[in-house]
Amino acid sequence: MKKKYNPQAIAQKISVEELYDLDITIACFILPRLIAFKQHCDRTPNFNMSHEEWNDILDKMIYAFDRIASQTEEDTPEYKAYIKAIWNNEEDLAHLKHDAKASLKPISEGLSLYHKYYRSLWW
């Protein structure tokens, strides 16, 4: 059964608090569904992919949404060192910025995989 999009009904059900950090709200919605999907899905997006490869991809997606939903995506030593250096007005931030970005790479990878396989999340 297809759900119809009704903007008025949706607008009435959405609280303003949900919109402050919409990325977190969305991650909290997606995370448990991705976990359940992984537990129940017995197929892969294509014939060239093994179940192990598909599970690894799903794990990367789950990791990214878990870090966003729990608001711990920036809780890496590299990111904290970069922020501390900014607050201390340190001048040489290039290497710290590079390390901070690298520490966030698994989250970016999980979100990219979600984007790539979005239309494959069905069975």
Q: What is the pLDDT of residues 24-67, one digit of tens each?
A: 999 999 999 999 999 999 999 999 999 999 999 999 999 999 99
Q: What is the CA radius of gyration of the chain?
A: 18
Question: 6 in a domain, yes or no?
Answer: no
Residue 90 falls within a domain, yes or no? yes
Distance, CA of 108 to CA of 75 (rounded, Å): 15
In a domain, 15, yes or no: no
How sure is the predictor about 1, in pLDDT bands with cuts at 50, 70 and 90? low
Residue 61 domain-assigned (yes or no): yes
Question: Is residue 8 one of the residues assigned to a domain?
Answer: no
> Which domain range does residue 73 map to?
21-120
Where does residue 61 rank: exposed (0-12), middle (13-18), buried (19+ CB within 10 A)?
buried
Given a contact cutoff of 8 angstroms between Cβ atoms, the answer to whether 114 and 33 are in contact is no
Residue 7 lies in a domain: no
Which pLDDT band holds residue 2 (cuts at 50, 70, 90)? low
Q: Total structural domains in the chain? A: 1
Question: Domain for residue 14, yes or no?
Answer: no
pTM of structure: 0.81
Whether residue 1 is contained in a domain is answered as no
Measuring CA to CA, which residue among 63, 75, 44, 73 is closest to residue 110?
63
- Given this model, what pLDDT does residue 68 score? 94
Higher model confidence: residue 57 or residue 7?
Answer: 57
116 pLDDT more than 90: yes
Chain segment 57-96, per-residue pLDDT in tens: 999 999 999 999 999 988 888 988 989 999 888 888 888 8
